A and B are shown apart, each in its own frame.
Chain A
Amino acid sequence: MGFWNKKHILFALIICALIAYPLLFESKAVSGLGSDDAGPAYMLAHGYHPWVTYLWTPPNSDVESGLFAIQACIGGAIMGYFIGIFHVQGKIRRREEQEHKKIDHWTEEDI
């Protein structure tokens, strides 16, 4: 039996629904301020002045999105690599367990 059972498929569907719903029906969620921007916007509106600014900022939102995508790709590559190692190790472990069970069975009953 593979890893994905009914429970995991249901979880994946719930995740997709939680992300897809605002994409489809909540336009502000896509085009409006994110919570990380809304906090500072509230402070600026109430007279706060930042005492230091960024050394460098992405020149436009496309570059910013691209950089975030690169970050996700780097993380995904690292995670995928090690998950792949775990996948192979898991297969080897289960195969070895099966072999041991067979050997144990022979020793107890047949030999």
Chain B
Amino acid sequence: MHIAEGFLPWYWCIFWYALAIPFIAHGVIQIKKIRAEHPEMTPLLAICGAFIFIMSSLHVPSVTGSSSHPTGNGLGAVFFGATVISAICVPILVFQALILAHGGITTLGANDFSMGIVGPIVAVFAWKVARKFGASYGVAIFLAAFVGDWLTYVTAATELGLAFPIPTFASAWVKMMIIYSYTQIPISIAESFLTVIIFDYIRRSRPDLLVTLKVIKPEDAKNPDEEPEEPQKKAPGLN
């Protein structure tokens, strides 16, 4: 979904920057607030950021005959909200634009809008809807990760279709959708399974953090996979 440097006309670059900046600013404020009020969340923030950093560096071949990279934006969006991810994505996209010539500074607003804003917002929405309809945490986080990843690419296809409506927006959009989103489906599925594994691990090791973030209910803080209780031994010297 990294739109390359110079591949959006300047007015579209300004437009996507203008849309992304308020989300990014809110995200920065949210991160400062989280770190001030709950400093114990810092490692979880780092894990979510590092997960996006790793995922967006991996070029994964797809069964559709092309290759692409996962985004990793669903996990952090469910934990901290979409705007936090929009802020976390900025240094990642800048790093890739300057060091790897992947993405671009002029297209940073558009790339952040797809990967850091639309994807995470849809992921949070999917998580909330799935939980409301009684889905388990595993199913809900799977759906969140899937739509977060896939909608990132749908948004990138739409951005390019809007910027380059040749011969028409509809035909350009369909072409971009075939290039971007069709390839992404199996990669999104793989990423979603990985996200479920990481979510389960965090839920098992630090459920208190997820309770604080209101991701899981306090009564669900105990992992269902936990080992059965050992028979209680009586204290020595007591009847």
Q: How far is the CA of A19 from the CA of B206 in the complex (A)?
A: 30
* A14 in contact with B193 (CB, 8 Å): yes
Set of chain B residues within 8 Å of A35, measured between Cβ atoms = 1, 66-68, 153, 179-180, 183-184
Q: Which one of B25-33, B78-86, B100-108, B116-124 is at the interface?
A: B100-108
Asked if B164 and A43 sit within 8 Å, CB to CB, the answer is yes
Q: Does B58 sit at the interface, judged by CB under 8 A? A: yes
Q: Quick one: given A78-B46, A110-B239, are A67 and B164 in contact (CB under 8 Å)?
A: no
CB distance from B213 to the nearest CB of A (A): 14
CB distance from A91 to the nearest CB of B (A): 8
A-binding segment of B15-23, B127-135, B230-238: B230-238
**Total contacting residues, chain B, CB less than 8 A:** 80
Does more than half of chain A's interface fall in helix, strand or loop, or is it mixed? helix
A39–B100 Cα distance when bound, in Å, is 18
Q: How far is A76 from B52 in the complex, measured between Cα atoms in Å?
A: 10
**Most chain B CB inside 10 Å of its own CB: which residue of A26, A32, A71, A94:** A71
User: A78–B200 Cα gap in the complex (Å)?
Assistant: 19
Q: A11-B197, A14-B190, A21-B63 are in contact. Are A82 and B46 (CB under 8 A)?
A: yes
A51, B5: Cα distance in complex, Å = 9
State which size class the interface on A falls in.
Answer: 35 or more
Assembly CA distance A43 to B157 (angstroms): 12
Q: Considering the complex, which residues of chain B in the window 25-55 have a beta carbon less than 8 Å from any beta carbon of chain A?
A: 43-44, 46-47, 49-51, 53-54
| CB of B125 within 8 Å of the partner chain | no
CB pair A83–B179 under 8 Å, yes or no, is no
Residue in B54, B96, B230, B233 whose Cβ sees the most chain A Cβ within 10 Å:
B54
Can you list 5 residue pairs at the A/B interface with Cβ under 8 Å? A35-B1, A47-B166, A52-B106, A86-B47, A89-B205
Additional A-B contacts beyond A11-B193, A23-B61 (20; CB < 8 A): A19-B61, A21-B63, A22-B63, A26-B64, A36-B1, A39-B176, A40-B3, A40-B4, A46-B166, A48-B7, A48-B166, A52-B104, A56-B98, A68-B59, A72-B57, A78-B47, A82-B43, A83-B47, A86-B205, A111-B235
